[in-house]
Amino acid sequence: MSRDHVLIDTDTMPVEDDPRNPGKKTQLLLSGEDTGGGVVRISYWPAGFTEKIRAMSDKGHRHYHRSVNERHYVLGGDWTSLYWPDPAAAPEATRLFRHHYLENPPMTLHGIRRDLGPETGTKFLVWTSGPGTDVHEPEAKFESIDVEFDGKVPPGIGLSPIMFNARDKPWSPHPEQDGWLIKELSPPLDSLPGVALVNIPAGSRATIAATAPEKDLFQRWLYLISGDLSVEVKDGEAPAALTENCFLAWRSSAAIVSADRVVSEGGCVALCVGHVLGRKQATVN
């Protein structure tokens, strides 16, 4: 990590045990101090949940978050999410696989059940707007509010998270780069940055000048879902060569650029948060 950007190959980054929830493992990519609030991490869940989660969800568990937005992109495995479009009825279950996007906005009810735990385990890319969404975080006692699984849903609680498989959304032409494609997963909203996938074809040459964040925080980042990407980070460091599962974040004293050169030898798909790679007029909201 440099002072102005973070470049991580998550395939070689150590995976740490979560001491508060044995059996779950994590890779912390950005801390709350880095982002000014939330975290960016990869969470690894074992098949059938952890012992603590199995005990908590034996008869079902559900909660909502008071103020924090929680976003996920499934990188591997499976996960079953429960939600309640009809608060008086039984929950509906959606099984998520690789490329599923899941967003739990504040005040939105979501849950799990022991018998619907992951069959193969789960690898999640997770990013939040603040602390307390993980039930074992210290802040969870203030931020994550449990609702009795078979009880009455309090008024004013949202009933359906945002979830879909990104493969089911159509690609659109990139507004500024010929041959590139984009998929918007979540638009910028209030203080939340937008989320998009950017598809760069093999051999693409492009001039890129990604605007730096307005605040001196890591508010823009990308995760390479597949392929290879070569850009320069203008903070005195060498060019950044990314491959699948690499993570790159930068703040106001750095900039992501490419001056009419091949940016991807074999093509790539990048998950972009707070910007759309290849756009010159990107802003953090």
Q: Which tops the pLDDT comparison, 95 or 250?
A: 95
For residue 278, being part of any structural domain is answered with: no
pLDDT tens-place string over residues 136-158? 888 888 999 999 999 889 888 98
- Answer yes or no: are the C-beta atoms of 109 and 153 closer than 8 Å: yes
Instruction: Give the per-residue SS3 of 46-94.
Output: CCCCCHHHHHHCCCCEEEEECCCCEEEEEEEECEEEEECCCCCCCCEEE
For residue 11, being part of any structural domain is answered with: no
For residue 44, being part of any structural domain is answered with: yes
pTM: 0.93
Q: What is the mean pLDDT of the chain?
A: 90
User: Nearest to residue 94, comparing CAs of 108, 80, 104?
Assistant: 80
Question: What SS3 state is found at 143?
Answer: helix
Residue 1 has pLDDT above 50, yes or no: no
For residue 68, being part of any structural domain is answered with: yes
Bridge-based pairing of strands 204-210 and 220-233 is unpaired
Mean pLDDT within 18-47: 94
- What is the number of domains present in the chain? 2
262 and 250 in a common domain: yes
Print the domain residue range for 107.
Answer: 31-166
Mean pLDDT within 259-276: 91
Residue 271: its pLDDT value, please?
A: 98
Last residue of a domain, one of 166, 182, 204: 166
Last residue of a domain, one of 141, 166, 191: 166
Residue 15: its pLDDT value, please?
A: 97
Residue 269 has pLDDT above 70, yes or no: yes
Let me know how long the chain is: 285
Residue 285 has pLDDT above 50, yes or no: no
Kindly report the CATH number assigned to the domain that includes residue 215: 2.60.120.10
CA distance 84 to 82: 7
175 and 148 in a common domain: no
Residue 187 has pLDDT above 50, yes or no: yes
Residue 212 has pLDDT above 70, yes or no: no
